[in-house]
Structure 1
Amino acid sequence: MAMTTRASNTTTAARVVVVIADVMAFIIGLWIVMYLLDANRANDLVNFVQDSARWLAGWSHDLFTFDEAWARVVAGYGLAAVVYLFIGHAVAGQLRRH
């Protein structure tokens, strides 16, 4: 009985990690799409998504120095989204194995 509960708890923890990583990557991806489509920056939703993405990708949003602004946004924010997905799913996989 204890083994079943432990397996269930690690599966639940793995799901939580995956959902958090996916939501973080979704927010960053949404900002990339909004930027590329030139969303209205005066809109509250656009501001919220931009601020959230900037916070999540604070370590990478100005990492690259391409001449084109859109390339900097796609590369910098896209890198953060990929890293969050990779790490989140890797951690979840490790939790499921134990």
Structure 2
Amino acid sequence: MKTSYIPEAPQRADIDGQAGPVLLEFGTNGCPHCMAAQAPLQQAFAGSEGVTHYKVEDGPGRPLGRSFRVKLWPTFIFLLDGEEKARVVRPLRADDLSVGFAQIDP
């Protein structure tokens, strides 16, 4: 599990072509909603070490977030073999995120 949002985002084509389970997390390091979601994410992520996690810094002019139509932070997009299976926006509990993990990491 990643701990900081990084400004260097992967290309959309790389995400779409990636095999296996992927979690895309969009937000910013100073976002209070993003910080509040980290403890639930850590709980939900336990046991899902096979999931590739991208913690992408988002904002105006950031093409990856726009391509996924991200409107609020944090937004968690759960993909399996490049296909979106679940999306969770501003989770408050680990259970909110566990539903997404169940869709990609049985």
TM score, norm. by length of structure 1: 0.29
Higher relative contact order (CA 8 A, sep 6+): 1
Larger Rg belongs to: 1
TM score, norm. by length of structure 2: 0.27
